[in-house]
Amino acid sequence: MSRLFGRRAATEPDATEVTDLDAVAPPTRSGSQGWRRLFVGNRVIWVMATVAIVALVAGLGLGQLIVSPGQAAADADAPAGGLITVPIENRQLANDVTMRGDATYADSVEVSIETGELAGAPIVTGQVPEVAAIFDTASIALEVTGRPVIVLPGDLPVYRTLRVGVSGPDVLQFKQGLNAAGIDAGALDSDVFDAQTAKAVTALYAKVGYPAPTGGGDVATAVSGAEAGVTSAQASVDSANGALTTVQGAASNVDVVEQGNLVRSAERALALARTEGTSNEIADAEESVTLAVARQAQALAPRDASAEKAAVTAAKAELTRANETLSDARDGALAYLPAGEVLYLPGLPRRVDEISVKRGSSITGPVMRVSGATLVISGSATASDAALLEVGAPAILAMPDGDQPATITSVLPTEPATGETASGRFTVLFAPDALTDEQIQAVQGSNVRVRVPVSSTEGDVLAVPLAALTAGPGGESRVEFAPGGSADTVLVEVTTGLAAEGFVEITAVDGSLGVGDLVVVGR
């Protein structure tokens, strides 16, 4: 500073010299004024520096006083050892199998109608169902060309028209379907379509409000002609039998008397010749007797009826053929089941999911899609879980509006997709109990939680955590009883029951344990 001011003084003009610069020259400043100007001009910087220094000092001081929880725990002495005890509880234990299940209408299938035997185009003329309609036994699926397509239970597809005289598994299925509709179709163990089955067909069509299919006028004419043929054949048989009877008839009384008289007359002549006649006369008389006897035998012998018998046989054969023709004609006049007028669906009732035709349209493919009429829950379980499940066992569905009871209806191995190996899992189907329409709409197509109780105690039992059990030297189960929570414990042998939810049912062998008693689970 002195150098600065010294240099400055050397350049200033002499004080005795008065110039214009004297009027504007600044006053001379001292050293203290320079430091003051430095502090005043940079006050904010100095304040911030001061605060920073104070904070640094304070932080260092507090750092010596504050200890973190981790450091405090590390510096602390180890706690004194003790028992961890829990009270014995009185509770009900239950084991459950839990899975997720999809809520759907099961067995969705496309429905086709057999139209190959129709003379014209298969036009839908009525009875078109709406979506969500329910098909049951003897329902009408559609009306095609004015004729009904009747729904019956069964899984064998239609492949022919059924008439009197045909037999096979389709006939047996039809008769069983008629029986399901409450109609007597005859013997259910017979696969023959007989007159009783035809009568049942008439009853089935009457039930659905349509006339039963028959042969029409041509069949009636055939029946009349066959009946006339039987009448004619029967007349021929009667005539042949009459001729045979005439031929085979016994000789008349006149012939019998006449022939008898001739024989006796010859015998009298022989007797007279033997008394009075010569040997020649006796011989002639004997020959006359022989001849009379022969003539009698010939006259009274039965006549040859072979021709008449043949005529009777032929007439009877013709009558048999006439009767068969009449039977066939009458069978043809009986009701039958056209292939295109029945639809077999397994697992009735069924729900209509989709309609592919409308009234007036021609059938060119599947006409609709149907599924099971009742909602089912389809879940998947491991083999070990499936082994605990039984058909008919109860289950609980976690519905949006609360738990809903259900029943297991099927437990079957899951079928692998084509080309894949078996997964070893099982498909489990559940039937909910009496769902409302609102519940069905809320849950359909969703995935729900299903709980199946597989074992439980009958009411409340004494239970402790599994950690409380220990094994004795002989393999017996024990718990460590701490009376009043004291350190002096007693090992009590127990028998165990159901284990579930992390607890196990116990019973003290000596009966010394009860609810609230403390048992050791750790130290």
Nearest to 414 by CA among 431, 426, 432, 429: 426
Predicted confidence (pLDDT) at residue 423 exceeds the cutoff of 70: yes
Neighbour tally for 23: CB within 10 Å? 7
Phi and psi at 155, nearest 5°, equal -120, 0
Model confidence at 220, pLDDT cuts 50, 70, 90, reads low
| 89 compared with 443, residue with greater pLDDT | 89
Beta strands in 214-325 (DSSP E): none
Instruction: Check pLDDT > 80 for residue 315.
Output: yes
Show the DSSP H helices in 125-216 as ranges: 169-180, 195-208
Whole-number CA gyration radius for the chain:
59
d(CA 283, CA 268): 14
Band of the pLDDT at 1, cuts 50, 70, 90? very low
Query: What is d(CA 476, CA 479) in angstroms, rounded to the nearest whole number?
Result: 10
Q: What is the dihedral of CA 45, 47, 53, 55, to 10 degrees?
A: -120
Check: CB of residue 248 under 8 Å from CB of residue 309.
Answer: no
- Token pair 């191995």 is found at 413
- Which residues on adjacent β-strands are paired with residue 408? 430
The string of pLDDT tens digits covering residues 398-422 is: 988 889 999 999 999 988 877 778 8
Q: How confident is the model at residue 217 (pLDDT cuts 50, 70, 90)?
A: low
pLDDT of residue 25: 46
What is the rounded CA–CA span in Å between residue 110 and residue 354?
Answer: 9
**How high does pLDDT run on average in the chain?**
83
Q: Lowest-pLDDT range, 83-87, 182-186, 418-422, 469-473?
A: 418-422
CA-closest candidate to residue 106, choices 318, 376, 342: 376
**Residue 8 pLDDT grade (very low, low, confident, very high; cuts 50, 70, 90):** very low
pLDDT tens, position by position, 95-147: 889 999 998 887 788 999 988 888 789 999 999 999 889 999 999 999 999 99
Average pLDDT of span 442-460: 87
Give the tens place of pLDDT for each residue, 322-351: 888 777 667 666 889 999 999 999 888 898
What integer pLDDT is reported at residue 71 of this predicted model? 62
Summary count for the chain: helices (H), strands (E): 12, 22
Query: Which helix H or strand E contains 151, and what residues bound it?
Result: strand 147-153
> Please, which residues bridge with residue 233 across strands?
none
Residue with tokens 């029986």: 179
- Three-class SS state of 39: helix
Separation between Cα atoms, residue 372 and residue 136, nearest integer Å: 11
- The contacts of residue 171 (CB under 8 Å, 6+ apart) are 162, 191, 192, 193, 197
Q: Tokens standing for 279?
A: 């040997």
Q: Is 199 exposed, middle or buried (0-12, 13-18, 19+ CB in 10 A)?
A: middle
pLDDT band for position 477 (cuts 50, 70, 90): very high
% of the chain at pLDDT higher than 90: 41
CB neighbour list of residue 478: distance below 8 Å, 6 or more residues apart: 469, 470, 471, 472, 491, 492, 493, 494
The helix/strand/coil state of 242 is: helix
Cis ω for the linkage preceding 349 (within 30 of 0): yes
Nearest alpha-carbon partner for 342 in 204, 248, 232, 185? 204
214 HSE (CA, 13 A, CB side): 19
Identity of the residue numbered 369: R
Rounded to an integer, what distance in angstroms lies between the CA atom of residue 482 and that of residue 484? Answer: 6
pLDDT digits (tens, 9 = 90+) for 243-293: 878 766 656 677 778 888 888 998 998 898 888 888 898 898 899 999 989
Residue owning tokens 């003539």: 295
Contact 377, 101 (CB under 8 A): yes
